[in-house]
Chains A and B, each alone.
Chain A
Amino acid sequence: MSVALVLTLLAIALLVLGASLCTFLGRQDRAALAVGTGTSVAASLAGIAGAAWALVQRTEETLVLPWRMPVGAVSIGLDPLSAFFLLCIFLVSGLSAIYGEGYLRGFAGRRRVAAAPAFSGLLAASMAGVALARDGVLFLLAWEAMSLSSFFLVTFEGDREETRRAGIVYLVASHVGVVPLLVLFVLLAVPAGSFGFADIAGAGIARAGLATAAFVLALLGFGLKAGFWPLHAWLPEAHPAAPSSVSAVMSGVMIKMGIYGLLRTLTFLPDPPAWWGVAMICVGIVSGVGGVLHALAQHDLKRLLAWHSVENVGIIAMGIGVGIVGRANGHHTVAFLGFSGALLHVLNHGLFKGLLFQGAGSVLHATGTKDIDSLGGLMHRMPVTGATFLAGSAAIAGLPPLNGFVSELLIYAGAFTGAVELASPDGLWTLSVVPALALIGGLAAACFVKAFGVVFLGEPRTPAAGRAHEASASMQGAMVAGATLCAVIGVAPLLAMRLVEGPGAFVAGGGGLPGGVGTLLAAVTRVSAALVAGLAVLAALRRVLLRRRDVRRSATWGCGYEAPTARMQYTAASFADPVLKPGEFLFDRHRHADLPEGYFPRAARVESHRGDLAADRVIRPAVNGLLTLFRWAGFLQAGGVPRYLVWVLLTVVVLLVWQMGASW
């Protein structure tokens, strides 16, 4: 057993230990929080060390424990793909645990606080279990543990109606998602003769029909967890309902376990046809553009961030699509660039989305509201939260010198290389990623200028926003650490490439780092360094120029108007309107207006709501139809013995008639 695996198992053991201790501490909120945070941080350190060790050493090993299970075996293992996802899991959950220490303290005395660190520990442990599992049954068990522990985290504030509703939606969605996965593993296990991943991969599934069925099932089951459009409908409900430290983990890494599952399934299927890649590119473009457009339409800060997870998972899907197309054509550079861009975006999104959810949590903690249009001017009172939120916003918009830019650049490079190297239809498909990414980038920039600008800049729109206070030390520490990591990956992408190189090549089907990637990333470092240096020079110049000059503070120019109020500022809804107007048909739009009429108009009001077309027009009718069907079938189960006897009699008669018919 390698050092890396020992450290990872130690981390899982620590997490489970911490969770059980929290359970025993019960109502002693502070103590439970301290124990939970301590064990989580220790576990994360051990886990990060183990995963990084495995990535650098390129560890590939499998360990079958001699424990008895009804079906399958307790088989765990490490390879570059697992190690990379373990790194993401431990990094983001460790930061969130530190953040949660300060954030959850605010609930002390009002709720059973111990539940949050306990289930957070279990969530991290079960995600690590998913990444380590080398057996279909064990994988599904860990998957189920992950879904259940996160369900209890979503319903942490279960005394609120909307939270309970979100919890039920989440529970149902997770379990619907397991159905295709069950079928998938049974389907794969039949030709392999066992549920073991090694056997499945060794069976070399060659029948095209079977491989395609497996891919489609994986896309459905894992895509639901990842939040691909239109399977995302649960995501903007569940993620905002959870406490912010948990939303960070759920959006940051838990949905990525869907991506992990998809990539793991791809390693079982040796020769993917190009159309799988094209399907992934289409799924990615639809999720990406749809996600960011809906994010723009949100008024709730955490819902906005949840929709951006749909967008970023779309970007990851585009990268995977480019990778599959490259692999199908036997072009290693295209495959490597696509897959490594997607994987790096998994890590990057974990970092900046975790940071942004933590920032949103600090805002909620300080003002008691997530409504963007009730906030404003928080930068003055929350400088650290504001600065780190700005860093996260620039990172998620894919701007240099931060990390989001690096992964998007790799996907761009892969798409371009595909366009010039591959034969025509495939090349054109990979090229379609370029305008989609550009559009998503532009829209994400618009959305985060809105989110950051309306929440943190300008004047407070409500008294609550004016009374805001800065987050506690541990919350600030976690956010600063997250922002620093975003900047480090952006300035030194070659370091991040060392982590992604192994898993990228692993999924791309062997081979090493293609030539040119190193040069490209070194150039990114030069540009980032030049940006920082140029900014420093200009800041110094400005300081020199303004020294001993007349520098005054005054009111904002209001075109001559002398008594502006905070309510006259531009709101989030009006900011987003010109962006959304051309895409109006993509929303389920409701608008009620009582417009002013006559010479002496009375109070007027306008209300508009942009709903989710997929949820409102596809998922909801489907679920309602299903419920009608169940209600109708409920006629069978009336609860009275006489009717059941009638059913038994009828069945016997039908069977008799059938049997007689058969014997004639």
Chain B
Amino acid sequence: MSVVIDIAVQAGLLILLPLPMLGLINVVKSRVAGRRGPPLLQPVFDVLRLLRKGAVYSRTTTWVFAFGPMIGLVATFLAGLIVPSAFPTSPFGFPADVFVVAYLLGLGRFFTMASALDTGSAFEGMGASREAAFSAMAEPALLLALMILCIPSRVPSFGDAFSALPAAGGLLRSPGLMLAALALGVVLLAETARIPVDDPNTHLELTMIHEVMVLDHSGPDFAFIQIGYAMKMYVLGAVLVHLVLPIPQDGWAAPALFIVGQAAVAIEIGVIESIMARLRLSRVPQLLIGACVVAAVGVLVLFTGGRP
């Protein structure tokens, strides 16, 4: 019975939470700027509206264009099932699932970039090219941070890592984990195309990264992209939340704490976007390579400081 509840909570949160997270970011940004802003559930309304619409396809495109959003959504959804949400373990977790999650996100990205090139548009090619460059630079930081997370529990799996975390004293007892959290934070901003890497509100196609890749998608395809995008933020946010907050093994406090944590991630993104300008494109690699270096230092700290 408890397995059924676990699955229901895991899948339910994954379906319900991501889009309101996006809404929360916009609410925070509006409030900081002194506006009232859109309702919290505006992204949900947007997606529902898109699902009811028809679609326009470029004559240049092939089936790859339609497959990109679908593969992106399915891969991110599976990653979201595997990464623990409300509780420190996921009912869908297994040993070595950290590598699988990283590569599932990579699969979605690969097909999003391919469907951008399918339009034959210079703008979308530009976006795909930047996405390819930045994600390749962020990938080692992500994997290194996940390694720091998993080495203390000796199993490369989210469930074991998060369960072992409170016993090891949590984040504050381990400088390596703090560096991992820092690197993960940068990866989260880069992978979800937020300031300082990319600006989701920019109106100039020449400067966009994520938004410009999906310029030609419309109707249900675009809805899939929006859901997938929000889920990606939720997945990476979940890892960060478990890393920072000591979430109990069971009980009702766990889901509540998790939702508070995800909300905090969204608020933090909103605040960063309100007080920072985006980096010049040529500076972004420095940020990402910096994140890799931080994570690598974290690994060294873990190894020299004696492993728990």
Q: Which residues of A contact B (CB under 8 A)?
A: 376-377, 379-380, 386, 390, 394, 397-400, 405, 409, 412-413, 416, 419-421, 424, 427-428, 431, 434-439, 441-443, 445-446, 448-450, 452-454, 457-459, 516, 519-520, 523-524, 526-527, 530-531, 534-535, 538-539, 541-542, 545-546, 549-559, 564, 566, 568-570, 574-579, 581-582
Pairs A–B under 8 Å by Cβ, sample size 30:
A379-B64, A379-B118, A390-B114, A400-B100, A413-B99, A416-B147, A420-B151, A428-B299, A431-B147, A435-B295, A435-B296, A438-B143, A439-B136, A442-B138, A445-B109, A449-B132, A450-B129, A458-B119, A458-B120, A519-B95, A527-B78, A538-B70, A542-B66, A545-B219, A549-B54, A556-B58, A556-B60, A569-B121, A570-B129, A579-B132
B28 close to chain A: CB less than 8 A: no
Q: Are B103 and A399 in contact (CB-based, < 8 A)?
A: yes
**Among B54, B102, B119, B205, which residue has its beta carbon within 8 angstroms of that of A438?**
B102
Which residues on B sit within 8 Å (CB–CB) of A531?
A: 74-75, 78, 107
Tell me the complex Cα distance, A119–B132, Å.
Answer: 41
10 shortest A-B CB distances, which residue pairs?
Answer: A570-B125, A453-B117, A442-B136, A458-B120, A446-B132, A550-B54, A435-B140, A534-B74, A442-B139, A549-B54
B144 close to chain A: CB less than 8 A: yes
Which residues on A sit within 8 Å (CB–CB) of B123?
A: 559
Tell me the complex Cα distance, A523–B82, Å.
Answer: 11
- Chain B residue at minimal CB-CB distance from A398: B103
Tell me the complex Cα distance, A559–B82, Å.
Answer: 39
**Among B56, B60, B285, which residue has its beta carbon within 8 angstroms of that of A582?**
B285
Which residues on A sit within 8 Å (CB–CB) of B8?
A: none
Whether A534 touches B103, Cβ cut-off 8 Å, given contacts A420-B151, A449-B128, A578-B133, is no
**Nearest chain B CB to A314 CB, angstrom units:** 15
Q: Are A438 and B303 in contact (CB-based, < 8 A)?
A: no
Which residues on A sit within 8 Å (CB–CB) of B144?
A: 434-435, 438
Q: Are A419 and B66 in contact (CB-based, < 8 A)?
A: no
Whether A566 touches B120, Cβ cut-off 8 Å, given contacts A380-B62, A424-B303, A449-B110, is yes
**Nearest chain B CB to A415 CB, angstrom units:** 9
Q: Are A575 and B132 in contact (CB-based, < 8 A)?
A: yes
**Among A413, A441, A458, which residue has its beta carbon within 8 angstroms of that of B60?**
A458
**Among B56, B106, B215, which residue has its beta carbon within 8 angstroms of that of A399?**
B106
Task: Select the residue from B55, B107, B126, B150 with max chain A CB neighbours within 10 A.
Answer: B107
Tell me the complex Cα distance, A398–B151, Å.
Answer: 23
Q: Which residues of B contact A (CB under 8 A)?
A: 51, 53-62, 64, 66-67, 70-71, 73-75, 77-78, 82, 94-97, 99-100, 102-104, 106-107, 109-110, 113-114, 116-126, 128-130, 132-140, 142-144, 147, 150-151, 154, 156, 205, 215-216, 219-221, 224, 281-282, 285, 289, 292, 295-296, 299-300, 303, 307
Tell me the complex Cα distance, A397–B110, Å.
Answer: 9
Q: Are A377 and B78 in contact (CB-based, < 8 A)?
A: no
**Among A409, A443, A574, A579, which residue has its beta carbon within 8 angstroms of that of B125?**
A574
Which residues on A sit within 8 Å (CB–CB) of B100?
A: 400, 409, 523-524, 527
Tell me the complex Cα distance, A542–B71, Å.
Answer: 12
B interface SS class = helix
**Nearest chain B CB to A288 CB, angstrom units:** 12
Which residues on A sit within 8 Å (CB–CB) of B150?
A: 416
Q: Are B58 and A523 in contact (CB-based, < 8 A)?
A: no
A interface SS class = helix
Which residues on B sit within 8 Å (CB–CB) of A577?
A: 129
Tell me the complex Cα distance, A400–B78, Å.
Answer: 12
**Nearest chain B CB to A353 CB, angstrom units:** 18
Which residues on B sit within 8 Å (CB–CB) of A453?
A: 113-114, 116-118, 125, 128
Tell me the complex Cα distance, A122–B64, Å.
Answer: 40
Which residues on B sit within 8 Å (CB–CB) of A553?
A: 56-59
**Nearest chain A CB to B33 CB, angstrom units:** 27
- Chain B residue at minimal CB-CB distance from A292: B136
Q: Are A546 and B219 in contact (CB-based, < 8 A)?
A: yes
Q: Are B59 and A554 in contact (CB-based, < 8 A)?
A: yes
**Nearest chain A CB to B24 CB, angstrom units:** 26
Tell me the complex Cα distance, A405–B106, Å.
Answer: 11
Which residues on A sit within 8 Å (CB–CB) of B142?
A: 438
**Nearest chain B CB to A297 CB, angstrom units:** 13
Tell me the complex Cα distance, A445–B59, Å.
Answer: 26
Which residues on B sit within 8 Å (CB–CB) of A439?
A: 136, 139-140
Q: Are A582 and B117 in contact (CB-based, < 8 A)?
A: no
Tell me the complex Cα distance, A421–B70, Å.
Answer: 40
Task: Select the residue from B119, B138, B154, B295 with max chain A CB neighbours within 10 A.
Answer: B119
Q: A437-B143, A577-B129 given; name 9 further pairs at CB < 8 Å.
A: A436-B140, A439-B139, A449-B110, A530-B78, A531-B75, A538-B74, A545-B219, A553-B56, A556-B121
